[in-house]
């Protein structure tokens, strides 16, 4: 396929599909952490054979020091909650231990994902037909010399 035609197909694909991908991620987000992390860096790569949908790709640090790319996996797939014994010293110098639950800010583990995977599962049929339509229309316009 001609490179200019391929570039037009890729540009039209990004223009039409990327906003829907971001909109579906926003609709599936269950709270501020999901929105901040997964929508931060929601992208899409287009090649001649595939569409790659990405979420949490931003490297920009959020408040607290972590970037969406650092914690995106834990936000999407959850993290195992675990208990830890913590030793501390009171103001008067007395030592004591207490139990603390770690990773509680993340949802429980789920291999099928919480936000992005279910969203893409619903959108794949629509995106596939849209991509085929964009490709056929662009090629038709090129044959008719409209481009």
Asked whether residue 44 is assigned to any structural domain, the reply reads yes
Asked whether residue 119 is assigned to any structural domain, the reply reads yes
Report, in this order, helix, strand and coil percent for the chain, each rounded to 5.
50, 15, 35
Contact 68, 61 (CB under 8 A): no
Contact 116, 38 (CB under 8 A): yes
Asked whether residue 127 is assigned to any structural domain, the reply reads yes
Asked whether residue 34 is assigned to any structural domain, the reply reads yes
Q: Could you tell me the sign of the dihedral formed by the alpha carbons of 21, 109, 80, 98, in that order? A: positive
Asked whether residue 93 is assigned to any structural domain, the reply reads no
Asked whether residue 52 is assigned to any structural domain, the reply reads yes
Taking the CA atoms of residue 86, residue 91, residue 95 and residue 99 in that order, the dihedral angle to the nearest 10 degrees is: -30
Instruction: Reply yes or no on whether the pLDDT at 147 is more than 70.
Output: no
Could you read off the pLDDT of 33-47 as tens digits, one per residue? Answer: 999 999 888 999 888
Could you read off the pLDDT of 53-104 as tens digits, one per residue? Answer: 999 999 999 888 899 999 999 999 999 989 999 999 999 999 999 999 988 8
- How many domains is the chain built from? 1
Asked whether residue 138 is assigned to any structural domain, the reply reads yes
Q: In which domain, by residue range, is 48 found?
A: 3-79+110-143
Residue 125: other Cβ atoms inside 10 A: 9
Asked whether residue 92 is assigned to any structural domain, the reply reads no
The whole model's pTM is what?
0.75
What mean pLDDT is predicted for residues 114-142? 89
User: In which residue are the tokens 């931060």 written?
Assistant: 40
């Amino acid at each position: 396929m001609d490179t200019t035609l391929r570039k037009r197909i890729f540009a039209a694909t990004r223009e039409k599909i990327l906003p829907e991908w971001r909109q579906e991620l926003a609709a599936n987000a269950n709270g501020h952490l999901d929105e901040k992390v997964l929508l931060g860096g929601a992208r899409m790569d287009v090649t001649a054979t595939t569409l790659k949908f990405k979420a949490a790709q931003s490297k920009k640090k959020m408040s607290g020091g972590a970037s969406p790319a650092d914690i995106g996996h834990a936000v999407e797939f959850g993290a195992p909650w675990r208990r830890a014994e913590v030793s501390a010293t009171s103001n008067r110098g007395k030592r004591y231990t207490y139990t603390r639950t770690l990773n509680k800010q993340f949802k429980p583990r789920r291999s099928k994902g919480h936000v992005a995977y279910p969203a893409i599962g619903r959108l794949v049929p629509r995106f596939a037909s849209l991509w085929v339509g964009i490709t056929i229309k662009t090629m038709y316009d090129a044959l008719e010399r409209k481009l």
